Amino acid sequence: MKTYDSILSCLVNEDGRQKVKAQGFVKKMSKFDFLALTHYLADVLEPLNRLCLSLQRSNLSYADTINQIELTICNLSELQLHDGPVFVEFSKSLPFGWGGAKPVPNFDFKGHLINLNADLVKKFEKVKEKFITNLIENLSARFSPNDNVVKGLSVFDRRELYQENETYQLPENYGIESMDILFTHFSENNSNYKTDKHNHLITGTTVPLMFDNKTTLLSEWTGFKNLLISKKYSHLSHESFKREVILKYENMYPSVCKLYILNIYFHM
């Protein structure tokens, strides 16, 4: 919003071949609903920007992702109850109390005349009422910690393993249930596998990640899980583990190695 005045002034003074188009932008940007929504989104996008940056970290784990999603949803929920600082400051510049007196026909904002009427206020309030609710629902659906596939992939969270296992040993049955969940989801008998977004992350194409033998997958897991907790690799990040270990053992444990890579990128 710091550049609003400069952008609008530039458009107003446009007298070249783009004058008609510039005038159209000026008309849209000089309406109350545009101005109010822009300030409102400045508050909403702030926690989303933090989330976006956190999900780009190379050492991101399943636990990190879920924690960041839950924190973002919490911050967005707070904005449903209380307006953010940018919108609050904008509200102070209005010639009427927000939610109070009937709005005047127009008002001055940073030297520009802003078109204001009851319909534009209602239009903004309608968007404001539903926007964060829909956003939270979307985030919850995409990154639900209750999703069986996400839960299954959490078995690869090496940092959690090292924190809970100082002896660098895992129970014999560790991860068996997760492998069963992942096999069920990605098996060739699952009619959903052809369009599953996770498949594209593994192959980079529409070719599905598909398992047709649970015994083979479990056999691979028996050997692979020891690599996850190996003291030799305890210092490696997810990306380093992928480069130094996964590539080394991908021929020995092809299916499980694909699942490990999927665990890194499932949030994309």
* Residues 212-265: tens digit of each pLDDT: 788 999 999 999 998 888 888 888 877 788 888 888 998 999 888 888 877 765
* Residues 5-43: tens digit of each pLDDT: 788 788 888 777 888 888 888 888 889 899 999 999 999
Range of the domain at 245: 148-265
In a domain, 13, yes or no: no
* Boundary of a domain, candidates 142, 158, 173: 142
- Take residue 54 and report the two structure tokens written for it: 């956190």
Q: Do both 152 and 118 map to the same domain?
A: no
Q: Do both 155 and 245 map to the same domain?
A: yes
In a domain, 12, yes or no: no
Structural domain total, the chain: 2
Q: Do both 201 and 257 map to the same domain?
A: yes
Q: Which pTM does this prediction carry?
A: 0.60
* Boundary of a domain, candidates 83, 118, 142: 142
In a domain, 4, yes or no: no
Q: Do both 128 and 174 map to the same domain?
A: no
Question: What is the per-residue pLDDT for 200?
Answer: 46
Residues 63, 154: contact at Cβ < 8 Å? Answer: yes
Question: What is the per-residue pLDDT for 195?
Answer: 47
